[in-house]
């Protein structure tokens, strides 16, 4: 609004009595001259018909040349059929990862499960926070009979805990949802051999399956376990034990055959 007051008061272009063309000395001739910058340049630009024709020729020619395998663009010329890289001298078989002791392999897998499932409450050092979440380091229920530990994980826990203390958070929610027997085996093996815990044993997939079956058979499956209920689980999970030094394939976890 106030801008219009800054404009010059005399606006010849808006004055109907002025011939604008004259005022700007625009004549039809110099206007045309500005439009046609290539005055005197008489060659015509490439016609669309020539352009289309050239494209067509190139496409057809490309097809013909490309089809002539083994001559101009044929891959067969540079890569021999069924070519495979030879083995390095002295190497027997470098196709598989080296086998690993089962204890180390399970601990490695269990660590990521712990990060996903337990870290948030029991902390990355397993020590909890002392007020709301108990420490898993040195816990009697972690390091003791494996069946008792498994039932805490799968069903959650209503305190008191192994030390008799009830923690501020009150109840640990069940962590078994979506966990396979193998996951549980990895996780339990990790917790029992980390944060200073050193049971040195492997919870096998077979044992973990027994833990899942036990949890599924509870009469009150949605309730967390209590110290009272855990008394019935003061034993190791059934199933054959495994030598923690057994070498396994680090991908399939099957005993290594070599």
Question: Which residue ranges make up the site for ligand HEC (CB under 6 A)?
Answer: 117-118, 120-122, 133-134, 136, 139, 141-142, 149, 152-153, 157-159, 161-162, 166-167, 169-173, 175, 187, 191
Tokens encoding 50? 């020539």
Can you give 201-215 as a three-state secondary structure string? CCCCHHHHHHHHHHH
H-helix or E-strand containing 172?
strand 171-172
- Among 90, 249, 118, which residue's Cα sits nearest to residue 192? 118
Q: Which residue has its beta carbon closest to ligand HEC?
A: 159
What number of H helices and E strands is found in the chain? 10, 5
Q: Which is nearer to ligand HEC, 194 or 204 (CB)?
A: 194
What distance in Å separates the CA atoms of residue 120 and residue 135, rounded to the nearest whole number? Answer: 13
Q: Which is nearer to ligand HEC, 48 or 131 (CB)?
A: 131
Q: To the nearest whole angstrom, how small is the minimum distance from the Cβ of residue 98 to ligand HEC? A: 30
Q: To the nearest whole angstrom, how small is the minimum distance from the Cβ of residue 177 to ligand HEC? A: 10
Residues in Cβ contact with 201 at an 8 Å cutoff, skipping those fewer than 6 apart: 103, 189, 192, 241, 244
What distance in Å separates the CA atoms of residue 143 and residue 194, rounded to the nearest whole number? Answer: 10
Q: Which is nearer to ligand HEC, 146 or 209 (CB)?
A: 146
Rounded alpha-carbon distances, angstroms, from residue 54 to 5, 58, 60, 102, 133: 61, 6, 10, 68, 77
Instruction: Compute the half-sphere exposure of residue 174: CA atoms within 13 Å on the CB side of its CA.
Output: 17
Q: Residue with structure tokens 């495994």?
A: 242
Q: To the nearest whole angstrom, how small is the minimum distance from the Cβ of residue 123 to ligand HEC? A: 10
Q: To the nearest whole angstrom, how small is the minimum distance from the Cβ of residue 135 to ligand HEC? A: 7
Q: Which is nearer to ligand HEC, 136 or 210 (CB)?
A: 136
Q: To the nearest whole angstrom, how small is the minimum distance from the Cβ of residue 105 to ligand HEC? A: 19
Decide if 76 contacts 70 (C-beta within 8 A): yes
Q: Which is nearer to ligand HEC, 178 or 200 (CB)?
A: 178
- Among 214, 208, 197, which residue's Cα sits nearest to residue 253? 208
Q: Which is nearer to ligand HEC, 146 or 161 (CB)?
A: 161
Q: Which is nearer to ligand HEC, 189 or 209 (CB)?
A: 189
Q: To the nearest whole angstrom, how small is the minimum distance from the Cβ of residue 92 to ligand HEC? A: 41
């Amino acid at each position: 609004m106030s801008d219009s007051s800054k404009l010059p008061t005399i606006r010849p272009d808006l004055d109907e009595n002025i011939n604008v063309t004259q005022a700007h000395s625009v004549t039809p001739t110099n206007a045309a001259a500005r439009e046609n910058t290539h005055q005197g340049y008489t060659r015509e630009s490439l016609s669309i018909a020539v352009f289309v024709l050239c494209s067509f020729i190139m496409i057809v020619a490309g097809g013909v040349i490309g089809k002539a395998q083994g001559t101009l663009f044929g891959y067969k010329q540079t890569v021999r059929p069924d070519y495979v890289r030879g083995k390095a001298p002295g190497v027997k078989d470098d196709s598989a990862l080296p086998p690993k002791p089962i204890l180390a392999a399970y601990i490695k897998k269990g660590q990521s499960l712990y990060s996903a499932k337990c870290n948030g409450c029991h902390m990355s050092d397993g020590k909890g926070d002392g007020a709301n979440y108990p420490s898993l380091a040195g816990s009697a229920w972690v390091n003791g009979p494996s069946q008792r530990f498994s039932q805490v994980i799968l069903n959650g826990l209503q305190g008191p805990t192994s030390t008799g203390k009830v923690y501020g958070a009150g109840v640990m929610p069940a962590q078994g949802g979506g966990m396979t027997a193998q996951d549980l085996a990895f996780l339990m093996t990790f917790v029992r051999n980390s944060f200073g815990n050193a049971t040195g044993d492997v919870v096998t997939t077979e044992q973990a399956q027994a833990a899942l079956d036990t949890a599924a058979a509870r009469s009150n499956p949605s309730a967390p376990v209590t110290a009272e209920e855990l008394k019935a689980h003061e034993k190791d999970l059934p199933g054959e034990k495994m030598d923690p030094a057994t070498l396994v394939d680090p991908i399939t976890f099957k005993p290594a055959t070599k």
